[in-house]
Amino acid sequence: MKQTTTTDRTILFGTDGIRGHADHFPFDDYTVMRIGYAIALWAREKYAAEQPKLLIGMDTRISGPRIKQALADGLLKAGAVVVDGGVIPTPAVCNLITADKSFHAGVVISASHNPYFDNGIKVFDAQRCKLSKEDEERLVAVVNSGPLSHLFKAPFEELSKSGADIIEWPEAFSQYINNVLSHFPTPFLHGKKIIIDAANGATGICAEIMFKTLGATVVMLNNYPDGININAGCGALHPEGLQAAVSAQGADAGFAFDGDGDRIVAVSCDGSIKDGDDILFLLLSLPRYQPMDTLVGTVVSNQGLEVAIEQQGKRFVRTAVGDKYIAVAMEEANVLLGGENSGHVILRDYLLTGDGIFVAITLLQALTVSGNWEMRTFPKFPQTLVNIPVVQKKDLAQEPFASIIAAYQERLGSGRLLVRYSGTESLLRVMAEATTADCAQSVAQAVALALQEVLGSHS
């Protein structure tokens, strides 16, 4: 087992839990065990449960089984009941712990859309899926607490011993499928040909079964995970292969998921790629969403979506990037529909987190109602996104960063410039949006170059 002698480093939660290189801190076995122990203490405290019950799921990364075992060892040592759902999509864990009231929380071992050498730990609350800010702060405090660090000065071998075993739940997979299918009439997709890109991740078998049960002819792409090919040139981040397959095979639609299944990109029957902004707009054709007066997006949602929503007499609310912020805004405004252009789409009347498979099927319902299989949406403002690798995430509100950003925002005029750090990767993201593609591209690249120079030399 992998272990480290460094147990006093601070563990931080990013936009979507803890994420990083699977072979480095905090994903060594020793630290993961501490995290598991802390999660159990947090759940025990929150639910006043002597033995909190947690469901664990994971995607197809080669590091998943090792991290799962270390995490479970920590949970069990703290007295938790640990149920193993195996390889299942992230939203499946949320679905299952919400439906089964005996669960207090869920944990998913996944780095979502990241490459195989990364991994992550996502924690979900059975009451509302995404952790509240207070829950997250409390969990971070427990993970990094002095008493917990003192406890884990015991020999590693002793910590590996626990008085209980993991409970295997092989039916978790089929239960999730049944839960999703219960929302849809069968076989409403009879006669439709659907192509699915599973990103060599956790959605493959689930998606194929569900779409076939709903009557569709299904063609699967990238559905042979080997532990290291998850998200590799495929899935929601690389939908070009799906686009080509839909066009070549004359399919009615195609869907690409990311490694853990909470993100979706669609391809229309004419081969056009549709992102989360398009999907949000298309879902509005469903009768249950038409009465809504508000839609929730993020600061990177295309300005064209906002214009289109306002033309319908509706309000468009923007949040920070991250589906947890969207979920909070949706609850506060009592909104049923929200999402990110990256493909995290939340249907709050189903679940307060993104579920790529559920969203895909719901979108097919909308297309059936509207007949809009070309997935025509709205004119988009040209956007350019440039990613800059960074070693240290320095405060962009300080000089000289702030002046550089302000100068280029002035150059954009009525356009939008967004400069932010990724919450899940060591990247600085520069997004420029303008009335012309040339302007957006030139500004984004200039800002990226200018910031890269000072980030590399500024101390």
Number of other CB atoms surrounding residue 340 within 10 Å: 26
Query: Which tokens sit at 322?
Result: 């991250």
Strands 129-130 and 53-58: unpaired
Q: Which of 63, 102, 110, 112 is catalytic?
A: 112
Beta strands in 1-88 (DSSP E): 18-21, 53-58, 81-87
Helix (H, G, I), strand (E, B) or coil at 279: helix
**Burial of 420 (C-beta count, 10 Å sphere; 0-12/13-18/19+):** middle
What's the rounded Cα separation, in Å, for the pair 453 and 290? 48
Q: Is 112 considered catalytic here? A: yes
Q: Say whether the peptide bond before residue 225 is cis (omega within 30 degrees of 0).
A: no
What's the rounded Cα separation, in Å, for the pair 354 and 347? 7
Q: Residue 156 — φ and ψ, nearest 5°?
A: -60, -40
Question: Nearest to residue 425, comparing CAs of 112, 109, 71?
Answer: 112
Tell me which residue has tokens 């759902």. Answer: 85
What's the rounded Cα separation, in Å, for the pair 385 and 455? 18
What's the rounded Cα separation, in Å, for the pair 378 and 306? 10
C-alpha neighbours within 13 Å on the C-beta side of residue 138: 14
Ramachandran assignment for 233, one of left (phi > 0), alpha (psi -120 to 50 degrees), beta (any other): left
Cβ atoms 458, 394 nearer than 8 A: yes
Query: Which tokens sit at 200?
Result: 């060599």
Distances (CA, A) of 90 to 115, 120, 218, 232, 382: 16, 12, 22, 19, 32
H-helix segments, 302-400: 303-311, 323-333, 356-370
Helix (H, G, I), strand (E, B) or coil at 267: strand
Tell me which residue has tokens 């004359």. Answer: 250
Query: Which tokens sit at 241?
Result: 């292969």
| Residues acting as catalytic residues | 112
